[in-house]
Chains A and B, each alone.
Chain A
Amino acid sequence: MTVTAASSVASSRVVVCDYDRLSPELGVAALVEGVQIALFRLWDGSVHAVQNRCPFSGAQVMSRGITGDRGGVPTVASPIYKQVFSLLDGSCLVTMDKEPVAGAAADLVVYPVSIDNGQVIIDLAGGE
Chain B
Amino acid sequence: MLSGAGREGTRMSNERIVVVGAGMVAHRFVSTLLERDTDGRFEVEVYGEEPYAPYDRVALTSYFQGKSPEDLLLGEPSLWDHDSVTLHRDAPVVAIDREARAVRLADGRDAAYDHLVLATGSYAWAPPVPGVDLPGVFMYRTVDDVARLREWVETRQRFFNRPVRGAVIGGGLLGLEAAGALQSMGATSTVVEFADRLMALQVDDSGGEALKRLIEKLGVTVRTGAATSEVRADRDGNAGTLVFSDGGEQLVDVVVFATGIRPRDDLGRGAGLGIGERGGVLVDDTSLTSDPAISAIGECAAAAADGHLSVGLIAPGNTMADVAVDRLLGGDAHYLGADTATKLKLLGVDVASFGDAFAQTPGALEVVYSDPFSGDYKKLVMTDDASTLLGGMFVGDASAYATLRPMIGAKLPGDPSAWILPEGAVERPELELPDAATVCSCNNVTAGTIRDAVNHEGCHDLGSVKSCTKAGTACGSCLPLVKKVMAGELEKAGLEVSNALCEHFTLSRAQLFSAIHVAELRTFTEVIERFGAGHGCDICKPTVGSILASIHNEHVLGGDRAALQDTNDRVMANMQKDGTYSVVPRIPGGEITPARLKVIAEVAEDFGLYTKITGGQRIDLFGARLEQLPQIWKRLVDAGMESGHAYGKSLRTVKSCVGSTWCRYGVQDSASMAIALELRYRGLRSPHKIKLAASGCARECAEARGKDVGLIATEKGWNVYVGGNGGFTPAHAELLVADVTDEEAFTYIDRYLMLYIRTADRLQRTAPWQAEYEGGLDEIRRVVVEDSLGICAELDAHMAHHLDTYEDEWKAVLSDPERLQQFTSFVNAPDTADPSLAYVEQRGQIRPATAEERASGAVLIAPARLEVHA
- Which residues of A does B touch, CB under 8 Å? 16-17, 21-26, 28-32, 34, 36, 39, 42-43, 53, 57-61, 64-72, 74-75, 77, 79-80, 82, 84, 101-102
Contacts and interface: CB of A to CB of B under 8 A. Distances in A.
B566 A66 contact: yes
Interface of B: 503-504, 534-538, 540-542, 560, 562-564, 566-567, 570-571, 575, 577-579, 626, 822, 824-829, 832, 834-836, 851
A94 to B, nearest CB: 9
B828 A16 contact: yes
B566 to A, nearest CB: 7
Nearest to B826: A31
Given A26-B563, A66-B566, A101-B851, 15 more contacts: A16-B828, A17-B828, A23-B563, A24-B563, A36-B834, A43-B535, A59-B579, A66-B542, A66-B563, A66-B564, A68-B504, A68-B536, A70-B503, A79-B575, A102-B851
Contacts of B832: 31
B537 A25 contact: no
B567 A64 contact: yes
5 contacts: A16-B827, A26-B563, A68-B536, A77-B537, A79-B575
A65 B826 CA distance: 15
A23 B821 CA distance: 10
Contacts of B825: 29, 31
Nearest to B562: A26
Pairs A-B, 5 closest by C-beta atoms: A79-B567, A68-B537, A77-B538, A59-B579, A25-B563
Given A25-B563, A66-B566, A79-B567, A31 B828 contact: yes
Contact of B575 (A25, A26, A61, A77): A61
Given A68-B536, A69-B535, A70-B537, A59 B828 contact: no
Nearest to A71: B503
Contacts of B504: 68
A67 B567 contact: no
A31 B563 contact: no
Nearest to A27: B563
A32 B536 CA distance: 30
Contacts of B851: 58, 101-102
Contacts of B537: 66, 68-70, 75, 77, 84
A31 B542 contact: no
Contact of A26 (B567, B626, B822, B828): B822
Contacts of B503: 70-71
A71 B563 CA distance: 20
A70 B541 CA distance: 13
Nearest to B566: A66
Contact of B836 (A23, A24, A36, A82): A36
A76 to B, nearest CB: 9
Contacts of B542: 66
A69 B566 contact: no
Contacts of B826: 28-31, 36
Contacts of B541: 66, 68
A68 B538 contact: yes
Contacts of A80: 567, 575, 577, 579
A24 B560 CA distance: 9
Nearest to A77: B538
A24 B534 CA distance: 16
Contacts of A82: 538
A81 B570 CA distance: 16
B833 to A, nearest CB: 10
A39 B828 CA distance: 11
Nearest to A42: B535
A29 B538 contact: no
A36 B836 CA distance: 9
Contacts of B563: 23-26, 66-67
Contacts of A21: 827
Contacts of A72: 534
Given A26-B562, A70-B503, A75-B537, A61 B828 contact: no
Nearest to B818: A23
A57 B851 CA distance: 11
A60 B570 CA distance: 16
The residue among B538, B824, B834 with the most chain A CB atoms within 10 A of its own CB is B538
A61 B538 CA distance: 15
B827 A28 contact: yes
Given A68-B538, A69-B536, A59 B577 contact: yes
A67 B564 CA distance: 9
B535 to A, nearest CB: 4
A32 B537 CA distance: 28
B127 to A, nearest CB: 67
Interface centre among A17, A64, A75, A101 (most CB of B within 10 A): A64
B304 to A, nearest CB: 55
A69 to B, nearest CB: 4
Contacts of B567: 61, 64-66, 79-80
A91 to B, nearest CB: 16
B811 to A, nearest CB: 21
Contacts of A24: 560, 563
Given A58-B851, A61-B579, A31 B829 contact: yes
Contact of A68 (B535, B575, B577, B836): B535
Nearest to B536: A68
A29 B827 contact: yes
Contacts of B578: 59
A65 B503 CA distance: 19
B470 to A, nearest CB: 29
Nearest to A69: B535
Nearest to A81: B577
A60 B827 contact: no
B59 to A, nearest CB: 41
B579 A32 contact: no
A57 B577 contact: yes
A75 B504 CA distance: 13
A20 B563 CA distance: 16
B827 A39 contact: yes
